[in-house]
Structure 1
Amino acid sequence: MTIKATKLKQGDTVGIIAPASPPKKEALEKAITFLEGMGIVVKVGSSVHNKYGYLAGTDEERAEDIHTMFSDTTINGIICACGGYGTGRLVSKLDYELIARNPKIFWGYSDITFLHTAIHQKTGLVTFHGPMLSSDVGLPDVHELTKQSFGQLFESKDVEFTHKSAPLHTVMEGKASGPVIGGNLTLLVSTLGTEYEVDTKGKIFFIEDIDEEPYKVDRMLNQLKMAGKFKDAEGIIIGDFKNCGPHKRKESLTLDQLFDEYIKPANKPAMKGFLIGHSSPCLAIPVGSIGRMNTVEKTLTVESGIKGEVEES
Structure 2
Amino acid sequence: MSQAVEIGISGVPLLRPGDVVDVVAPSSGADPDIIKKCLDLLSSWGLTGRIHDETFGDDIFFSNTSNARAQCLLRAHTAPDSAAVWCLRGGSGATSLLPYLLTWAPPPQKLFIGFSDATFLHLFFNQKWGWTSLHASTLKHLTDFEDAPTLDALKHVLFTCPLPAPLSGITPLNAKARTASKITGALTGGNLSLLQSSIGTPWQIDTTDRLVFVEDVDEKPYRTLERLTHLQQAGLFKGCAGLIFFDFTYNTAVEEKHHTLYPEMLSTFGATLDCPVFKGTGVGHGPRNLPLWIGKDVHLERGTLTFL
TM-score with structure 2 setting the length: 0.88
Aligned with residue 171 of structure 2, among 153, 169, 172: 169
Map 1:226-305 → 2, pairs under 5 A: 226-243=233-250, 254-294=261-301, 297-303=302-308
Aligned with residue 127 of structure 1, among 119, 133, 145: 133
Q: CA deviation at 1:231?
A: 2.2
Q: Aligned residue for 1:155?
A: 160
Q: What 5-or-longer segments of structure 1 have no aligned partner?
A: 304-313
Q: Is the 1:96–1:122 Cα contact (8 Å) retained in structure 2?
A: no
Please, what is the CA RMSD of the aligned residues?
Answer: 2.4
Alignment of 1:87 onto 2:94: yes
Q: What 5-or-longer segments of structure 2 have no aligned partner?
A: 1-8
Q: CA deviation at 1:95?
A: 5.3
How many Å separate the matches in 1 of 2:258 and 2:45?
Answer: 48
Aligned with residue 113 of structure 2, among 107, 114, 121: 107
Look up the equivalent residue of 1:255 and give its one-letter code: Y
**Identity percentage of aligned residues:** 26
Alignment of 1:52 onto 2:59: yes
How many Å separate the matches in 1 of 2:252 and 2:170?
Answer: 20
**Which moved further from structure 2: 248-257 or 191-200?**
248-257
Task: Quickly say closer, same or farther: Cα 1:23–1:151, change in 2 above 3 A.
Answer: farther
Q: CA deviation at 1:260?
A: 2.4
RCO higher in structure (CA 8 A, sep ≥6): 1
How many Å separate the matches in 1 of 2:218 and 2:94?
Answer: 19
How many Å separate the matches in 2 of 1:232 and 1:291?
Answer: 17
Task: Quickly say closer, same or farther: Cα 1:206–1:244, change in 2 above 3 A.
Answer: farther
Aligned with residue 225 of structure 1, among 223, 232, 237: 232
Q: CA deviation at 1:205?
A: 0.2
The residue matched to 1:266 in structure 2 has which SS? coil
Look up the equivalent residue of 1:222 and give its one-letter code: T
The residue matched to 2:160 in structure 1 has which SS? coil
Q: Deviations over 1:182-228 (max 9, x none)?
A: 00000000000111100000101000000011111011000011112
Look up the equivalent residue of 1:302 and give its one-letter code: F
